[in-house]
Amino acid sequence: MLLTKYSHSCVRLDQDGSVLAIDPGSFSEVEEALEGADAVLVTHEHPDHIDVDRVVAVLAADVSVQLWGPPGVADAVTRGLGDAAGDRIHAVAGGEEFAAAGFDIRTFGGQHALIHPLVPVIANVGFLVAGTLYHPGDSFVVPEGVDVETLLVPVHAPWSKLAEVVDFVISVGAPSAFQIHDALLNAAGLGIVEGHVTRLGERYGTTFRHLATGETVEL
């Protein structure tokens, strides 16, 4: 399976001719990430995780593409597509299993991390892909009973602090980890955060590596 990192929280997975994209948001290269995609997973409805207008445009142009996300995501995309939505837009919550673009998917969690008590909490699901790769969206929910091999780590957000990022990496215990949710940091800030994650993750068996935008690795 090939993993390609796009800006912020968007990644693309290619395997045996099938393409799955996750969280094509407003900070990301949506059209590039979705080129030839068979399916799209969206963790939650915030615009940095789904640029609804651009995603709807791609799905309107290719009626074979399916999408899974929490009800708020599914409703927004369905409204945008109108009659073109058909039955290919799927609402999901935590604790579900399904297949998307030939990949086995399990969902975890169900709630976005708290930003502030005055900011309403929305739905968020983490996606475990092919039993090996975990994209948590905007949460630090640890998938129970799963040996994650590759962890995508939200390294910086309005809802997190560095200690929580490190604890998440340690708790999941994946051998390999790469960064997501990194668009809000400049190079200096990202270097500081990733330095701590790298150093402390290594103590507990996780090798963290920074992926450049557009870089592809084989998992």
Task: Summarize the confidence of residues 179-199 as an average pLDDT.
Answer: 97
Q: Smallest Cα–Cα separation from 10: which of 196, 213, 197?
A: 213
3-state class of 102 per DSSP?
A: coil
7-44 pLDDT, tens digit each: 999 999 999 999 999 999 999 999 999 999 999 999 99
Confidence class for position 5, pLDDT limits 50, 70, 90 = very high
Domain residues for the domain of 44 are: 2-213
Is residue 218, in this structure, part of any structural domain at all?
no
Q: Is 147 part of any domain?
A: yes
Give the pLDDT confidence score for residue 116 in this predicted structure. 96
What is the CATH classification number for the domain harbouring 67? 3.60.15.10
Percent over 90 (pLDDT), the chain: 100
pLDDT on residue 66: 98
Establish if 137 belongs to a structural domain: yes
Q: What are the pLDDT digits (tens) for 141-165?
A: 999 999 999 999 999 999 999 999 9
Report the percent of the chain where pLDDT is more than 70.
Answer: 100
- Tally of domains within the chain: 1
Q: pLDDT band at 82, cuts 50/70/90?
A: very high
